[in-house]
Structure 1
Amino acid sequence: MEKIDYRAIIKFLTKQGKSVATIMDEMSSVYGDSCPGKTMVYKWHSLFKKGRESLEDDPRPGRSIVVTTPELIQNVEKLVLDDARLKKKQLAEMVGVSDTTIFKIMHDHLGMTKVSPRWVP
């Protein structure tokens, strides 16, 4: 059973006015060892009592994951072919990705290596 399914059960029982202990007892009797722990049940019970409706996790802060799309690869290739003296950092700022992503595109996707101060295929 998925964690979102457990949250739906916790939400339903919370809306019925059940306590954390009662919810734990009911879930343990049905799901046994696979049911979530008391801390998790208490957390979601509290959130649902405060009016939360969503069963999904809140988005976490941090750097978003950049997917290397064909458009991104073409954009980087065009920039490099226009000016082979661009540095990774400059390319990264121009297209809005990290230096590491630029290196992976240049090396893995375009098969380019740094020779002297130029990128060459």
Structure 2
Amino acid sequence: MALCERVATSLNRTVSGDTFSTLSPLDNVQMEQRVNLKFLVKLGKTFTEAHAMSKQVYGNDCLSRKQVFEWFKRFKQERETTEDDPRPGQPSTSKTDENIEKLLN
């Protein structure tokens, strides 16, 4: 399978999955930019080219230079997921009546 076909398949899985359906509009734009950065890395673009293209497309909504660099670096290291890494201190489950009931019993 050619590189462009593999990239398109990977991006299609990311975009067609549930990844975007539960995100806020701002998070959705950030996720879209990450997918696009992944694509640009796979095309062999440099960080400078990728950042300039992102700024051209997203303008004021573009990820910061630091964020673009961090995601660019991750994708250069062959990271596949565009989702954030889990952070310590964040709850891994939701606070629901059902979960509270389980804890109390």
TM-score range, shorter chain: 0.5 to 0.7
Tell me, which stretches of 5 or more residues in structure 1 are unaligned? 77-94, 96-121
Aligned to 2:69: 42
Q: Deviations over 1:74-105 (max 9, x none)?
A: 873xxxxxxxxxxxxxxxxxx5xxxxxxxxxx
CA distance in 1 between counterparts of 2:59 and 2:99 reads 50
How many Å apart are 1:66 and its aligned residue? 5.5
Q: Deviations over 1:48-74 (max 9, x none)?
A: 010100000011112625624247438
Aligned to 2:15: none
Which residue identity lines up with residue 67 of structure 1 in the other structure?
Answer: K
Q: Does 1:69 align with 2:97?
A: yes
Structure 1 or 2: more helix by fraction? 2
Kindly tell me: are residues 63 and 42 of structure 1, through their superposed partners in 2, closer, same or farther at Cα, counting changes over 3 Å? closer
Which residue identity lines up with residue 38 of structure 1 in the other structure?
Answer: R
Identity, in percent, stands at: 32
Tell me, which stretches of 5 or more residues in structure 2 are unaligned? 1-27
Structure 1 or 2: more strand by fraction? 1
Aligned to 2:4: none
How high is the TM-score relative to the length of structure 2?
0.62
Kindly tell me: are residues 66 and 22 of structure 1, through their superposed partners in 2, closer, same or farther at Cα, counting changes over 3 Å? closer
- The number of residues matched between the two structures is 77
RMSD over aligned CA atoms reads 2.3
Q: Does 1:25 align with 2:85?
A: no
How high is the TM-score relative to the length of structure 1?
0.54
